[in-house]
A = this chain, B = another copy of it.
Amino acid sequence: MAKRHIQACAVAGFLNIFGDGWTWLVIREAFYGATRFSEFQRNTGIARNLLSQRLSMLVDEGILRRDDVGERGPRYEYRMTPKGEALFPVLVTMIQWSNEHVFGAGREPIRLLERNSMKQLKKVVPTTARGRVLHWPDVVAQPGPGADKAARMRILESPQGIDD
């Protein structure tokens, strides 16, 4: 991304890392087990200079780590850090929405199954502690401790917003 968002907003903070058309394909590859530059390149089709920039950015952000595993000269492997692995729920909700709403039933490119039961993953949705599914109207938004004045105003102006 050319320009970083400066809003104190969790969505903007996410987009400063992932707000382009390639970064999530790199993340997909890391989840699929790609570790080498050439694997990322072949499996995404991303141009080498862009891939190099995205991998460096993901290392700088602490989402991938880069290990030198070369015995004769440098050879790098990229692996997920815990911060990267924590993207798993985002990946799953993204895949589930895309399967259902972009491709549609019977045309899904991928299925995610639980390894033990070999059953398809349940839809990942917000729920109450007792398991009732929550929709957006069931939720209110409150400025967090990191909200600046603009973020606070935006949240409180929303019908979903409540004061802290």
Name A's B-contacting residues (CB within 8 A): 1, 3, 5, 7-17, 19-22, 24-25, 27-28, 31-33, 43, 45, 83, 85-103, 106-119, 121-129, 131, 134-148, 151, 154-155, 157-162, 164
Contacts and interface: CB of A to CB of B under 8 A. Distances in A.
Contact of A88 (B16, B136, B155): B136
Nearest to A164: B111
A162 B111 CA distance: 10
A113 to B, nearest CB: 5
A11 to B, nearest CB: 5
In the complex this chain forms, how many copies of it are found?
Answer: 2
A146 to B, nearest CB: 4
A146 B10 contact: no
A28 B14 contact: no
Contacts of A122: 126-129
Query: Which 10 pairs between the two chains have the least Cβ-Cβ distance?
Result: A19-B21, A108-B144, A107-B146, A10-B98, A32-B158, A13-B102, A10-B95, A14-B98, A89-B93, A90-B93
B24 A11 contact: yes
Chain A interface, DSSP helix/strand/loop, else mixed: mixed
Contacts of A45: 7
A85 B138 CA distance: 13
Nearest to A11: B28
A52 to B, nearest CB: 19
